[in-house]
Chain A
Amino acid sequence: MAASLSRRLRRVPLSVWLAGLMAVVIVAAAALAPLIAPFDPTDLTSFNLIDAELPPRFSPDGDPRFLLGTDNQGRDLLSAMLYGARVSILIGGGAVMVAAVVGVGLGLIAGYFGGWVDAAIMRFGDIILSFPTILLALLVAGVARMLFPAASSAEWAPFILIGAIAIHEWVQYARTVRAATMVESARDYVRAVKVIGLPSRQIMLRHILPNVMGPVLVIATINLAAAVLTEATLSFLGVGMPPTYPSLGTLIRIGNEFVFSGVWWIALFPALLLVLLVLGVNIVGDWLRDLFNPKLRGRG
């Protein structure tokens, strides 16, 4: 098993290498934003309204200080994008983590105990899934907006976003893990530890969990891209990150207001970065999914 996995890893297609590299570069640049970004967009003293809406450096009216131009408040767009990607990835990653932990936990419990516990958890998941992702996230974010003071929105907004996205995503983990847990529970090694008399918690965490984690990693990768997109959508709709701490979605929303007045760069560059990030993560995720799919083994 381990040997065949490493052999298959050695035959990674070029497209996946490139996609992975692209995703890693973007994530690294976002992580190192304070070191590599020319300006700090969160520092109010570092930008000036006089510089607002300057086009990128390579266009005729460009300013040599701003590689990709500036936004409507005179912030360097490149710096804002790097910091924005950082916010997007943190929220996306956070949402995936929360959803995975909740979903895997509930899935294990549902699959292991079965009966009414299983029915209750999974029917609740069905109800959650019958709401569209964005609608549910809008509801959560909207209600939270009413409850918390607007002044400190930069502090609580990320956590609200993580919760709003995770509330929908956990169901997918729960369903996958529940099915895998039911299969593993019926296998003799689990029956053996039941006969030994180990407590359920120990059987679930030590014996079943490691054997159902494969698909979870795949879903997590694919969902990371989806979560980043959902965050961008929410921010675009104005219930996400505030303009003072913009995510990629917030930048696109700001830019959207200027697109028709010829100021195309504020929307285009953040959108491009978002597309590249999501594409890279998705390609890697799809490949991982095929790698773990026994039905596709031995092809190509």
Chain B
Amino acid sequence: MSAVAPILAIDRLRIEYPLADGGVLTAVEGATLSIAPGEIHALVGESGAGKTTIGNAVLGLLEKPGRIASGTIALDGQPFDPQKPGAVRLGRDIGAVFQDPMTSLNPLFTIESQIVETLRAHLPLDRAAARTRALELLKAVGIPEPERRLSAYPHQLSGGQRQRVVIACALACEPRLLVADEPTTALDVSIQAQILDLLRGLADERGIGILLVTHNMGVVAQIADTVTIMHRGHIVESGPVAQVLRHPQADYAKALIGAVPRIDIRLDRFPMLDGANQTEAGAARDQLRAKALAVGDPSSGRDVPLLSVDNLSVDYGAGFLAGRGARAFRAVDGVSFEIRQGEVFGLVGESGCGKTTIANVVAGLRAPTGGTIRFDGQVIAGAEAAQRKGKTRRAIQMIFQDPYSSLNARMRVGRILAEPILFYELARTQAEAEADVGLLIEAVGLPTEAAQRFPHAFSGGQRQRLSIARALGARPRLIVCDEPTSSLDVSVQAQILNLLKDLRDATGLTLLLISHDLAVIRQMCDRVAVMRAGRIVEMAAAETLFTAPQADYTRQLLSLVPTLERIRGEV
């Protein structure tokens, strides 16, 4: 690798943000890396690690007042200052691909005009030549029927096709370097696999160097040649992918890789670096369990299903004011499953498969179009359902995906958590309710002072813990978890998943876990249902499903998920 001159060489880069109080925040410190032609170099780390900052610095897109304080960036051996206007010609020398393909394209222009515009801005081409070139590019990125797609608008393309168009734009002027910032994070696994193949092909066939910024270790394992792990602005480890992922040296690298959920074997718990105040939390959980029993929810035994969903269907868009000719979209189509007392039931599928709709119906946020749901023998949704009140309502609680919007920003944590307790009169006095809130906070592993503060004082992971505490406050028997960790960093995800497991063991909860992440499902669930287009295609015990999948779709999904276990070049 050293024989070839690197396309991109970053040397001891230091990026600073001056703060309002006169101080300086160092976002990146002493970062050194280089990319050879045809190399995919992955830059990984958790949020705030500085990986996107480096990508933006190379592109000259550092947000003001951020600045490169020291160090150099060289393209093809020529050092340049990306901050200076004109130093880097975005689109000409360096191509850029960002996370969200919908916002990267202007919705008001056709695909043709967007690519042609890029081409003519940098190359002396007339309209006809630019059009021919645009056609070639669309072919190169694998868009079917490129002639027809040229006149399409971005919204007429699927997410994967849009990302292909973005890549085509980035390649328009044959740059030597491509900076791809989370290029597949917004996409489903099957489309992600296609885009990753495309990027790999570009590196192999055209010798383009690619700086791949990502948080997904599976993606790194699948397509990258070299990987650099960042933590709080510093590079902690760098080297060939197989070596770093198999035998990480630095403590942080070990912890990060250990926290990635595995799809091949099920572990009891995710390995943790810090075993913070486990005993206190344990004591609090025991008390919670005693209290839950005191409310007197008799468990009907393990053989009776706690929740049984029968032939459930949900339509969208067929309302009373929907208008003539408005056709209903069937989001959930004849789904049946049962959840037994004390088990973790997983619902997995790609976006739009109807899994979140099921979560909403089970939680009572939406009425089904057809079918029934029974909870502990009682009909709670469907034609003959009584209005959910008191015990039944309280018995099913929910945890949401986005921890930043799931807590009311204008209420103190203590008041948020006390709300279900006071509403259901689970505490006799105000003081008792406050004591319960303290217990809940301890049970999810936070200090009791948290009750006095507002949600904005907490990180995403801490907020998710508070969300869980709120759900527990109603002393439920079933908690619906809708993508509870998909907006969290991988190490925080590991903590939250461990917490859910601990709570399940300590309080005998039943969980309905909804996720698009097969590895998370594998680690958490006893039984799993795989959904596609509103139907369940396969339902089995987790071990069976992952070791011997029956349905073609399940097999396809499993084969497409990028995982740590499958490192490129090793299989």
A is bound by B: yes
Q: Judging by beta carbons under 8 Å apart, are A189 and B393 in contact? A: no
Do A188 and B409 form a contact, CB below 8 Å, given A195-B363, A197-B394, A197-B423?
A: no
Return the chain B residue nearest A207 by Cβ. Answer: B408
Does B175 have its Cβ within 8 Å of any Cβ on chain A?
A: no
- A188 to chain B: which residues have CB within 8 Å? 400-402, 405-406
Q: Which residues between 393 and 442 of chain B lie within 8 Å of chain A, taking CB atoms?
A: 393-394, 396-398, 400-402, 405-411, 419-420, 423-424
Return the chain A residue nearest B454 by Cβ. Answer: A2
Q: Judging by beta carbons under 8 Å apart, are A119 and B321 in contact? A: yes
Do A192 and B400 form a contact, CB below 8 Å, given A197-B389, A207-B408, A210-B410?
A: yes
**CA distance in complex: A116, B456 (Å):** 36
Do A189 and B320 form a contact, CB below 8 Å, given A194-B365, A195-B397?
A: no
Sampled A-B contacts (12; CB under 8 Å): A119-B321, A187-B406, A188-B402, A188-B406, A189-B409, A192-B406, A192-B470, A192-B471, A193-B419, A195-B365, A196-B474, A207-B411
- A7 to chain B: which residues have CB within 8 Å? 20
Does B308 have its Cβ within 8 Å of any Cβ on chain A?
A: no
Does A201 have its Cβ within 8 Å of any Cβ on chain B?
A: no
Does B246 have its Cβ within 8 Å of any Cβ on chain A?
A: no
Against B, the Cβ 8 Å flags (1 = close, 0 = not) of A32-61 are: 000000000000000000000000000000
Does B226 have its Cβ within 8 Å of any Cβ on chain A?
A: no
Does A198 have its Cβ within 8 Å of any Cβ on chain B?
A: yes
Does B510 have its Cβ within 8 Å of any Cβ on chain A?
A: no
List 15 extra interface pairs beyond A1-B456, A196-B397, A196-B419, CB under 8 A. Answer: A191-B398, A191-B406, A192-B467, A192-B471, A193-B419, A194-B365, A195-B396, A196-B393, A196-B394, A196-B470, A196-B474, A197-B389, A197-B424, A198-B419, A207-B408
Does A211 have its Cβ within 8 Å of any Cβ on chain B?
A: yes
Q: Judging by beta carbons under 8 Å apart, are A189 and B405 in contact? A: yes
Does B364 have its Cβ within 8 Å of any Cβ on chain A?
A: yes
Return the chain A residue nearest B363 by Cβ. Answer: A195
**CA distance in complex: A195, B320 (Å):** 25
- A196 to chain B: which residues have CB within 8 Å? 393-394, 397, 419-420, 423, 470, 474
- B407 to chain A: which residues have CB within 8 Å? 189
**CA distance in complex: A132, B553 (Å):** 62
How many inter-chain residue pairs (CB < 8 Å) link A and B? Answer: 64
The secondary-structure label for the interface of chain B is loop
- B393 to chain A: which residues have CB within 8 Å? 196-197
**CA distance in complex: A1, B456 (Å):** 9
Q: Judging by beta carbons under 8 Å apart, are A116 and B320 in contact? A: yes
- B364 to chain A: which residues have CB within 8 Å? 194-195, 197
Min Cβ gap B176→A in Å is 35
**CA distance in complex: A197, B387 (Å):** 11
**CA distance in complex: A186, B62 (Å):** 33
Q: Which residues between 48 and 96 of chain B lie within 8 Å of chain A, taking CB atoms?
A: none
**CA distance in complex: A193, B420 (Å):** 8
Return the chain B residue nearest A213 by Cβ. Answer: B410
Q: Which of B319, B423, B467 contacts A198 (CB 8 A)?
A: B423
Min Cβ gap A115→B in Å is 8
Does B388 have its Cβ within 8 Å of any Cβ on chain A?
A: yes
Return the chain A residue nearest B455 by Cβ. Answer: A189
**CA distance in complex: A115, B471 (Å):** 29
Q: Judging by beta carbons under 8 Å apart, are A211 and B410 in contact? A: yes
Greatest chain B CB density within 10 A among A116, A189, A195, A210 is at A195
Against B, the Cβ 8 Å flags (1 = close, 0 = not) of A250-274 are: 0000000000000000000000000
Against A, the Cβ 8 Å flags (1 = close, 0 = not) of B438-472 are: 00000000000000000010000000000100110
Q: Judging by beta carbons under 8 Å apart, are A211 and B406 in contact? A: no
Min Cβ gap B412→A in Å is 12
**CA distance in complex: A187, B389 (Å):** 23
**CA distance in complex: A64, B424 (Å):** 73
Min Cβ gap A207→B in Å is 6
Against A, the Cβ 8 Å flags (1 = close, 0 = not) of B279-294 are: 0000000000000000
**CA distance in complex: A156, B389 (Å):** 48
**CA distance in complex: A207, B470 (Å):** 15
